């Protein structure tokens, strides 16, 4: 990389979102610098599901074959009831690949991160660690960041990919995180340590009252990835110390044998409290633009957080290219980020809100759970109407977004509220 030359673009945050955006822009010939606060680039070692709307982009980047070789391509995704263990519905992932043209795969996060890091290096992205950004400013067609050591760096565009607790989001919107009172435990372990029977040809989720359990294989089937998620009674009671391992054990007490057998294998020294944010319409302030979790952190029930972040970088790079004047080799950055914002705020709003309601459906109890099970068992296996909007090609302009989730008129909501409800 051409070391100290001023970059065209500064990317704050070297997670999957920041690196993939840096790569997308470097592919367009732009000079990109990534500022990461950590002493090293990396990701925590657990699994990630990567849907066709993202493998399509990885293919375009020329990275899909490598990602496939490092991951696992399961042949089915199964949803089961966590209490009685019965199958509720499934997706045939071979058929799904045929429908969308690209595979559904699962991969170790650190493997995907490493692929993106190496790809950035090869294109000469200037990758810097130990760079904690504490402030943002924007004026006169440029944006700048202040670092913890007081230095200031600037560029024509600053992309803030600084994650859930984004400093840029605070500066831009000042909104709060939304606490779901749910917490996730993870455990990616060698298959040799697993004594029960597991089918690594499937991505499996058991959905239960206030809890769920996900498992799938990693690294060509050498490892098992498990995620156990539950609602914390201590969080609901307003206690500070919530989501503790004793709560983990209790939360899964009433689940089937298959699920209970997985709980002792979870990592107990780390957990992830689950927050999201209410969607906002503005991700751009002057020449600073939010991307990835900084812009739209979801609850992970649709497994689209990292996928959306990778889509963001691809969409942004496409608009930057469209707004490039070949005669002067300058970019109309304002037009590019406006176009990015116009389409991505709408798509990601749908994902964030749908993930919330999908989670509610998973976690039902009592007769509501039984009714859900009837509906899910009734679903035709080849009915893709509920995932087409997610797994189909990524929209570049709002007009390409699939026409679903039209806003429900308020009077319809109110009419429903006045209906007598069935109680359990």
Beta strands at 9-12 and 157-160: parallel, antiparallel or unpaired? parallel
Beta strands in 112-173 (DSSP E): 126-128, 133-139, 142-147, 152-155, 157-160
Which CB, 171 or 384, lies closer to ligand FAD?
Answer: 171
Which residues form the interface with ligand FAD (CB under 6 A)? 12-18, 35-38, 48-49, 131-133, 161-164, 167, 184, 227, 272, 292-293, 300, 303-307, 309
* The one catalytic residue among 23, 61, 104, 216: 216
- CA distance linking residue 160 with residue 295, whole number of Å: 9
User: Whole-number minimum distance, CB 20 to ligand FAD, in Å?
Assistant: 8
- C-alpha to C-alpha distance for 369 and 88, rounded to whole angstroms: 11
Sign of dihedral through CA atoms 71, 303, 198, 96?
Answer: negative
Smallest CA-to-CA distance from 169 within 312, 13, 41 is with 13
Nearer to ligand FAD, 287 or 373 (CB): 287
Nearer to ligand FAD, 306 or 337 (CB): 306
- The single residue listed with the structure tokens 């391509």 is 73
Q: Quick count: other Cβ atoms within 10 Å of Cβ 178? A: 14
Shorter beta-carbon distance to ligand FAD: residue 235 or 373: 235
Task: Tell me how far, at minimum, the Cβ of 23 lies from ligand FAD, in Å.
Answer: 12
Cβ distance to ligand FAD smaller for residue 51 or 373: 51
Question: Nearest CA to 423 among 357, 337, 365, 358?
Answer: 365
Token pair in block for residue 386: 């509920």
The residues near 130 (Cβ < 8 Å, ≥ 6 apart) are: 36, 37, 38, 39
Tokens of 10: 């500064």
C-alpha of 25 from chain center? 20
Q: What are phi and psi of 162, to 5 degrees?
A: -100, 20
Q: How many CA atoms lie within 13 A of 386 on its CB side?
A: 13
216 labelled catalytic:
yes
Could you give the residue numbers annotated as active site?
A: 216
């Amino acid at each position: 990389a051409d070391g100290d030359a001023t970059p065209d673009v500064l990317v704050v945050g070297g997670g999957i979102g920041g690196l993939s955006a840096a790569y997308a822009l470097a592919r367009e010939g732009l000079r990109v610098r990534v500022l990461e606060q950590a002493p090293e680039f990396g990701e925590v070692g657990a699994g990630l599901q990567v849907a066709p709307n993202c493998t399509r982009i990885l293919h375009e980047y020329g990275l899909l074959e490598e990602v496939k070789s490092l991951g696992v391509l399961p042949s089915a995704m199964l949803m089961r009831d966590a209490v009685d263990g019965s199958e509720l519905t499934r997706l045939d992932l071979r058929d799904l690949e045929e429908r969308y043209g690209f595979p559904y795969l699962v991969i170790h996060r650190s493997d995907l991160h490493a692929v993106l890091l190496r790809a950035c290096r090869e294109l000469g992205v200037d990758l810097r660690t130990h760079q904690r950004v504490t402030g943002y400013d924007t004026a006169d067609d440029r944006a700048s960041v202040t670092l913890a050591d007081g230095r200031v760096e600037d560029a024509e565009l600053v992309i803030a990919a600084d994650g859930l607790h984004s400093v840029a989001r605070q500066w831009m919107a000042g909104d709060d995180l939304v606490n779901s009172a749910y917490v996730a435990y993870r455990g990616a372990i060698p298959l040799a340590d697993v004594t029960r029977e597991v089918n690594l040809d499937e991505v499996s989720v058991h959905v239960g009252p206030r809890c769920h359990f996900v498992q799938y294989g990693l690294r060509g089937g050498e490892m098992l990835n498990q995620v156990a998620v539950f609602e914390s009674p201590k969080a609901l009671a307003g206690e500070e110390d919530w989501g503790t391992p004793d709560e983990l054990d209790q939360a899964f007490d009433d689940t089937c044998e298959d699920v209970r057998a997985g709980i002792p294998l979870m990592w107990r020294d780390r957990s992830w409290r689950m927050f999201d944010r209410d969607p906002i319409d503005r991700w751009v302030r002057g020449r600073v633009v939010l991307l990835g979790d900084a812009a739209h952190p979801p609850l992970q029930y649709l497994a689209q957080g990292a996928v959306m972040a990778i889509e963001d970088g691809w969409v942004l790079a496409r608009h930057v290219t469209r707004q490039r004047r070949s005669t002067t080799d300058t970019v109309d950055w304002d037009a590019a980020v406006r176009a990015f914002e116009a389409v991505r705020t709408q798509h990601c709003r749908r994902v964030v809100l749908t993930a919330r309601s999908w989670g509610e459906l998973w976690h039902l109890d009592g007769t509501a759970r039984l009714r859900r099970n009837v509906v899910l068992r009734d679903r035709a296996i080849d009915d893709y109407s509920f995932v087409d909007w997610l797994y189909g090609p990524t929209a570049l302009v709002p007009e390409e977004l699939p026409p679903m989730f039209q806003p429900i008129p308020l009077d319809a909501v109110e009419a429903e509220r006045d209906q007598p409800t069935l109680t359990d």
